[in-house]
Amino acid sequence: MHTTVGIIGGGPAGLLLARLLHRAGVDSVVLESRDRAYVERRQRAGILEQGTVDVLRAVGAGARLDREGLVHDGIELRFDGRAHRLDFPALTGGRRVTVYAQTEVVKDLVALQLAEGGPLLFEAEVHAVDGADTDRPAIRYTHEGREQTLTCDYVVGCDGFHGIARTAVPEHLRTTYERTYPYSWLGILAEAPPVYDELIYAHSPRGFALASMRTPAVSRLYLQVPNGTDPADWPDERVWDELDARFALDSAPGWRLKRGPVTQKAVLPMRSWVTEPMRHGRLFLAGDAAHIVPPTGAKGLNLAVADVVVLARALAHRAGTGSDELLEAYSDTCLRRVWRAEHFSYAMTTTLHADPAQSPFDTRLQLAQLERIATSPHAAAELADNYTGLPMG
Ligand code: RFL
Ligand code: PHB
């Protein structure tokens, strides 16, 4: 089999890239190692920047998003027993975010691809990329028990943090930057209506907590926990009690979350990680295959979308004009945005979490920074500008 663009991974990055290329008249094949049900169930991000929403609409994946997505005009910060709201449109000249789960984005993109796109193969596990620096790279994969080869003009690794595509970049040409954090998140999904209209990010002496949502009937909640935590040590009642304690307000002593059946519970590590460059010959890396951010700034999915927008434009430019100019600029163009998001995600994370090694002095610095955001329109605008999304490359 031969295709113009061989895409490894059917997560948001790979699926959206296939849609963008299809609309530009460039053919592609998507190879995804998992089955469809698994890919559509995996619980992950929830916040879409305005630019992400616009791209999904442009590729025809906007109908359900427009019906079911929850448009949010701000977030609430809680610290020192007080609440402060940030008004995004006022601080950014009109930008908002939309709550629409990554699982729903993936379902919409899979349905579109199967209805009118190029091949999307599930349970197709890629083992290797050969000849990345030649004119005819090839992807080797297993499908239905048989070894197969897909030759391509270009290969794109959209295979996430645990993917194999980046191993095709020789080690001496790759630089990796990394930071792991001394805490994780315990995330739950609960059949309980959120008692709040917007997301709440809470700094507390007991650790960070985040209240998010999936629908008007389903809450998504997170607690900072020590690394290595076993979810079995957190029975539902303990999770709810701890959430209530971390969101406590001096002005509303009775404030409580609505409780309901917990349908999922998992511990997520927190990591910052970038590999450079994002291109080697005719192999390109996009999304989590090239960079990871801790989820505190809600940037992971949005960064993956921005990468493939830049890449689809470059591949279409090459198909239309024969010029490699935009493909050559791909890595630098994306990395500028990636490093901005890395800094923002790091700053949100370290300002809001309690590091087990932190001194009382460090805690006072965190509170001073949060107070600054709550009282200075300049500091608030800086957060809002990053959170709602920087312009796509
Ligand atoms: P994905 O979504 O990981 O998709 C990669 C796809 O590649 C497939 N794959 C392979 N296919 C074929 N052959 C191979 N050898 C393959 N190896 C892997 C995988 O099965 C998968 O389908 O990467 P993509 O598309 O770059 O999308 C990025 C986003 O998924 C990611 O940035 C965010 O979800 C990050 N993230 C979160 N971001 C937030 O903003 N808020 C969150 O609450 C949030 N929670 C999370 C997250 C990431 C998580 N991971 C990766 C562990 C929670 C988790 C658990
Ligand atoms: C989520 O809804 O899963 C979510 C929202 C905001 C974040 C992280 C996760 O910063």
Take residue 65 and report the two structure tokens written for it: 């998003």
3-state secondary structure of 145: coil
Please tell me the distance between residue 155's alpha carbon and the centre of ligand 2 in angstroms: 31
Same structural domain for residues 122 and 30? yes
For 133-149, how does the pLDDT look when each residue is reduced to its tens digit (9 = 90+)?
A: 999 999 999 999 999 99
At residue 393, the pLDDT reads: 58
Q: Is residue 58 part of a domain?
A: no
Q: Is residue 263 part of a domain?
A: yes
The Cβ-side half-sphere exposure at 88, using a 13 Å CA radius, reads 22
Query: Which of 38, 102, 164, 334 maximizes ligand 1 atoms within 8 Å of its Cβ, making it the mutation to test the pocket?
Result: 102
In the predicted structure, residue 172 carries a pLDDT above the cut 90: yes
Q: Residue 16: which domain range? A: 2-46+103-178+270-352
Which of 269, 293, 324 is a domain's end point? 269
Query: CATH no. for residue 228?
Result: 3.30.9.10
Would 57 be classed as within a structural domain?
Answer: no
Residue 34 shares a structural domain with residue 18: yes
List C-alpha distances in Å: 290 to 132, 274, 286.
16, 6, 6
Question: Does residue 259 share a domain with residue 196?
Answer: yes
Q: What's the total number of domains in the chain?
A: 2
Average pLDDT, integer, range 166-182: 97
Place of tokens 């805690």: 363
Q: Are residues 210 and 345 in the same domain?
A: no
- Digit-coded pLDDT (tens) for 307-321: 999 999 999 999 999
70 part of a folded domain? no
Residues 299 and 341 grouped into a single domain = yes
CATH number at residue 11: 3.50.50.60
Provide the pLDDT for residue 392. Answer: 73
Does residue 168 sit in the same domain as residue 265? no
Peptide bond into 277 cis (omega under 30): yes
Same domain, 118 and 213: no
Domain assignment present for 369: no
Does residue 208 lie in a domain region? yes
Query: Are residues 39 and 146 part of one domain?
Result: yes
Whether 375 is covered by a domain: the verdict is no
Q: For ligand 2, atom 6, which residue shows the shortest CA distance? A: 298
Catalytic residues: 72, 201, 295, 299, 387
Residues 41, 156, single domain; the answer is yes
Residues 36 and 110 in one domain: yes
Each residue of 349-361: pLDDT tens digit? Answer: 999 999 999 999 9
For a mutational test of ligand 2's pocket, the pick from 102, 103, 199, i.e. the residue with the most ligand atoms closer than 8 A to its C-beta, is: 199
Taking only the tens place, the pLDDT of each residue in 265-294 is: 999 999 999 999 999 999 999 999 999 999
pTM: predicted TM-score of the whole model, two decimal places:
0.96
What's the angle, vertex CA 187, arms to CA 95 and CA 361, rounded to 5?
Answer: 75
42 pLDDT higher than 90: no
Read off the pLDDT band of 390 (50, 70, 90): confident
Q: Which of 269, 302, 336 is where one domain is finished? A: 269
**Cβ atoms of 200 and 296 closer than 8 Å:** no
Residues 162 and 194 in one domain: no
In a domain, 64, yes or no: no
Quick one: 292 and 312 in the same domain?
Answer: yes
Please indicate whether residue 46, judged by its CB atom, sits closer than 6 Å to ligand 2. yes
User: What are the residues facing 262 on neighbouring strands?
Assistant: 190
Q: Of 245, 269, 293, at which residue does a domain stop?
A: 269
Answer yes or no: is the C-beta of 295 below 6 A from any ligand 2 atom: yes
pLDDT averaged over every residue in the chain: 96
